[in-house]
């Protein structure tokens, strides 16, 4: 039983990390949609080649967002490891871990965010981290800890000795 839960954790934790990364990128893309649309509209031929511009600029934007979100994922991995070790299943812990790790990653990659300028607002970055933390909890965090079963049956306790009448 414990080996099965351990194997399940080895599958769920990376899956939860991938989902969290995608959610963080999606939040950043939605938050900067106007800036992205302005980049596409800046090209004079964008009305004619909107689909091509969307794929070229969009793929560059998503790649930049994934690299940046990946740099923010390293501190979150430490929080996920702590949650797995101590079987912390609180959604608030995982959301706070996501927000804090996004802020730590954002401050650590100050040189990397200069050319892109999509990560200039820390509020958007922390919001993306909180959303990513919640997404991680929804996939893998609610059942953290391979040694602590999620749906454990209550053990019958020792009946209290009956007092003589």
Q: In whole angstroms, what is the distance from residue 76 CA to residue 95 CA?
A: 10
155 lies in some domain: no
Q: Residue 135, exposed/middle/buried by CB under 10 A (0-12, 13-18, 19+)?
A: buried
Domain extent for 126: 2-143
Q: pTM score, two decimals? A: 0.73
Neighbours of 20 (CB within 10 A): 30
Alpha-carbon dihedral sign for residues 130, 135, 136, 142: positive
51 inside domain? yes
Domain total for the chain?
1
Q: Is-contact 146 8, C-beta < 8 A?
A: yes
Q: Is residue 165 part of a domain?
A: no
pLDDT of residue 126: 92
**Which residue, chain included where needed, has tokens 């401050």?**
107
- On whether residue 148 sits in a domain, the answer given is no
Residue 164 forms part of a structural domain: no
Q: Which two tokens stand for residue 62?
A: 């998503």
Per-residue pLDDT at 134: 94
Look up residue 87 and give its two tokens. 């079987």
Q: Average pLDDT of each block of 10 consecutive residues along the chain (165 residues)?
A: 78 89 86 76 63 71 72 85 86 93 84 61 89 92 71 62 61
Token pair for 145: 């800890």
- Tell me if 127 is assigned to some domain: yes
Assess if residue 89 is contained within a domain.
yes
Measured CA to CA, the distance from residue 110 to residue 62 in angstroms comes to 19
Q: What is the pLDDT of residue 99?
A: 93
Residue spans of alpha helices (H) in 87-121: 91-108
Instruction: Say if 13 falls within a structural domain.
Output: yes
* Whether the Cβ atoms of residue 62 and residue 33 lie closer than 8 Å to each other: no
Provide the pLDDT for residue 7.
83
């Amino acid at each position: 039983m414990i080996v099965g839960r351990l194997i399940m954790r080895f599958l769920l934790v990376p899956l939860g990390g991938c989902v969290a990364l995608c959610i963080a990128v999606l939040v950043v893309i939605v938050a900067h949609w106007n800036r992205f649309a302005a980049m596409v509209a800046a090209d004079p031929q964008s009305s004619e080649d909107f689909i091509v511009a969307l794929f070229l600029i969009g793929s560059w934007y998503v790649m930049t967002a994934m690299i940046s979100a990946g740099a923010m994922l390293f501190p979150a991995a430490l929080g996920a490891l702590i949650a797995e070790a101590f079987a912390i299943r609180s959604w608030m812990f995982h959301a706070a871990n996501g927000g804090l790790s996004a802020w730590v990653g954002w401050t650590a990659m100050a040189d990397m965010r200069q050319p892109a300028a999509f990560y200039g607002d820390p509020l958007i970055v922390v919001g993306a981290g909180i959303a990513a933390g919640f997404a991680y909890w929804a996939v893998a965090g609610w059942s953290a800890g391979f040694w602590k079963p999620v749906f454990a049956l209550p053990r019958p306790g020792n009946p209290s000795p009956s007092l003589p009448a």
